[in-house]
Amino acid sequence: MKKIITTIGILTGLMVLNSCKKVLDTLPTDRISPDIIWSSRANAETFIFSTYGIMNNYASGPGQDPYTTNIIAQGGIGGANTVFSERPGLTNRSDYGFNNWGAVRRCNVIIKNVTESSGIAEADKKELIAEAKFLRAMSYYSVARTIGRIVWIDKVLNENDEFLLPTTANPTESYNYIIKDLEDAVTGLPATKVSGRTNKYVAAAFLTEVCLQALAYKNYPAAPNIAANDPLLDKVIANAQLVIGGGYALETDYEGMFNETKSTSSEIIYGIYQKAINTTVSSTPMQNALPNITADKINKFQGSPLFTKSVPFECWPENFPAQNLTDDYLTIDKADPTKVVPWNQTSQYINAVDEGVNVLVPFSRTGFPHDKTAKLNDETLVKMGRIKPGSNETIWTLTNENRDARWKASIISDSTRFYGELFTTGLRGNAARFLGEINGGDYAFTLSNMYWRKGIYTNVSPSYLNSVSTDYHFVCMRLGRVYLNLAEAYLLKGDVVNAVVNLNKTRVMHGQIPASMASNLTDAWKDYKRERRVELTEENDRYYSLLRWGRFGGNANDGIAPGGTIAELTEPIRVMDISKDRKSFSIVTGPFRTTYNQRVFTPSRRYLFPVPQGMIDNNPKFLPQNPGW
């Protein structure tokens, strides 16, 4: 299978808006002539390939997940600190991606020059124009789902054109343009599958999600008033079925889709592929997911065991799985294998754990007991317990045995063996959060006693050092996600049966747990939201899904009216600590070093970010400002 690996640097001028004058960059004289670029399909493709940077907005990895309780972070990564504290740092002066006009211009240059080319065959023109429309739609979708309104430009502007253009009137107008481009792409693109390049199924797959988001923002800021016969829902279903019939298949090796072993899995509909010749660990999500641990750091807390390699991990971790997320990886009940519930609601947990025992003692650097846990002064206890005398269970067995298979495929937790090393993340382990406190607040360790496994290549050599070269790929769209989009469309239609059938596709195949038996909308939405969370974690989905469900309201958002608060965006981050003997645990909430982890969500203004005020100052046609800003 062919892959598009890197972009080719053939550039044209980019448009710059200015309130005082019109500026249009001209083609430098040392670049390849446009006549040559557009003389053949092969030459035109070099320009098209270098436009695919647009798709980086949809790359797997943390994405916008730091805004959610999927992730506990240090340093307020991705601007999440100012977003959730609602401090003065969150202003209407930031860009938030609104200025995408350079990318759009490239797409319009492709459409214009391919159309006018005398050297490109008509059949090829149809495909290349459809490809440009796909890329234009994806550039605009990134703006629409964040800000709602876009500056729609569908031609190549020149120095005689008016640059002070208006925005769309509302999100619906924005999405109408985006959906039309994607529908044209579905019609005009070939079915041929080339890794890293779009085709009709790629366009259709993204269209399923765009239509759901468009539906949520109808009538904004008023409620969307969802109707079962809304044409957008029919578009989701029709395009999902097109993709499902397009020759893709759910992958049995879930973990492998996100590392080197199944990077071109038949489930992956669109991915971004990078080669080691121009990629290092530091330019991948691995750099901010794995620790930086040495023997002396472990020994300061009398931790064990030491790693086999002296320094296997030399990364700079910034984001970690939160307990809020991992509680949603369900566990099969040992007494009733048809029953699947959170790990601390199983019969084995209830029979084994005494939640009335105090397992907390003051934190100390040396001599910390093997049967206790600790908390810091600014943390609040949520729950604690200890295995009852005579029970054969441990906290490890309760959290690992019979659990959703994606838990092990996605998370490095206590007693996980990875990269030939045994991670112990309990008290006095070799990779736990308290090691950071022992080492003077060292940022080299997890804040949650967990690290990401999803998206981590296993063949990096000689160690995970920022300068080590590695192949890497980002998953942007896959069949499992399409099935979930389809399930959501059926939920919005009130069709519980078909919704459950489709959410069970990933739950059973990837999770390897019993199928959902939900028989009403309330239960089906609950199972669907959990399924989407664990299936698509670290795939840049959760934040926008939560906003979408908040706009829908009702069963989609815990019974809250449309446009109301979103509990998951305000609830405290939870962390679980485990004793050295793995028989005691405690769960706490807290700031965990940063105000980022103290969340605030203001419904009156947070469903959309603002149009940058500085741009409104230069061009009043961008008014009105989004509500609340």
pLDDT of residue 33: 79
Contact yes or no for 493/240 (Cβ under 8 A): no
Structure tokens at 100: 């995408």
Which phi and psi (to 5°) does residue 50 adopt?
A: -75, 0
Q: Of 445, 434, 447, which is closest to residue 579 (Cα–Cα)?
A: 434
Q: In the predicted model, what is the mean pLDDT of residues 533-542?
A: 97
For residue 91, what pLDDT band results from cuts at 50, 70 and 90?
Answer: low
User: Quick count: other Cβ atoms within 10 Å of Cβ 341?
Assistant: 14
Measured between alpha carbons, how far is residue 417 from residues 141, 149, 321, 330, 624 in Å? 40, 47, 17, 21, 55
Q: How far apart are CA 321 and CA 613, in angstroms?
A: 35
- Per residue in 289-318, pLDDT (tens digit) is 999 988 998 998 888 999 999 889 999 998
pTM for the full predicted model: 0.93
Q: How far apart are CA 354 and CA 407, in angstroms?
A: 25
- Does 19 or 437 have the greater pLDDT score? 437
User: What single letter denotes the amino acid at residue 209?
Assistant: E
Identify the burial level of 571 via C-beta atoms within 10 angstroms of its C-beta, where 0-12 means exposed, 13-18 middle and 19 or more buried: middle
Q: In the predicted model, what is the mean pLDDT of residues 493-517?
A: 98
**Residue 458 per-residue DSSP state:** S
Average predicted confidence (pLDDT) for the chain: 91
Contact yes or no for 323/588 (Cβ under 8 A): no
Structure tokens at 572: 């405290």
For residue 599, what pLDDT band results from cuts at 50, 70 and 90?
Answer: confident
Give residue 375's Cα distance to chain centre: 30
- Per residue in 235-264, pLDDT (tens digit) is 999 999 999 999 999 999 999 999 999 999
For residue 23, what pLDDT band results from cuts at 50, 70 and 90?
Answer: very low
For residue 6, what pLDDT band results from cuts at 50, 70 and 90?
Answer: very low
Structure tokens at 147: 């800000």
Identify the burial level of 367 via C-beta atoms within 10 angstroms of its C-beta, where 0-12 means exposed, 13-18 middle and 19 or more buried: exposed
3 state SS of 319: strand
Supply the angle between the helices 200-216 and 479-493 in degrees, to the nearest 10: 40
Q: How far apart are CA 567 and CA 554, in angstroms?
A: 13
3 state SS of 295: helix
The total number of residues written for the chain in this structure: 629
pLDDT of residue 17: 36
Q: Of 248, 256, 181, which is closest to residue 211 (Cα–Cα)?
A: 181
Q: In the predicted model, what is the mean pLDDT of residues 368-388?
A: 96
- Per residue in 154-206, pLDDT (tens digit) is 999 998 888 899 999 999 999 999 999 999 999 999 999 999 999 999 999 99
3 state SS of 526: helix
Q: In the predicted model, what is the mean pLDDT of residues 437-454?
A: 89
Helix ranges (DSSP H) in 27-67: 34-37, 41-49
Is residue 139's pLDDT more than 70? yes
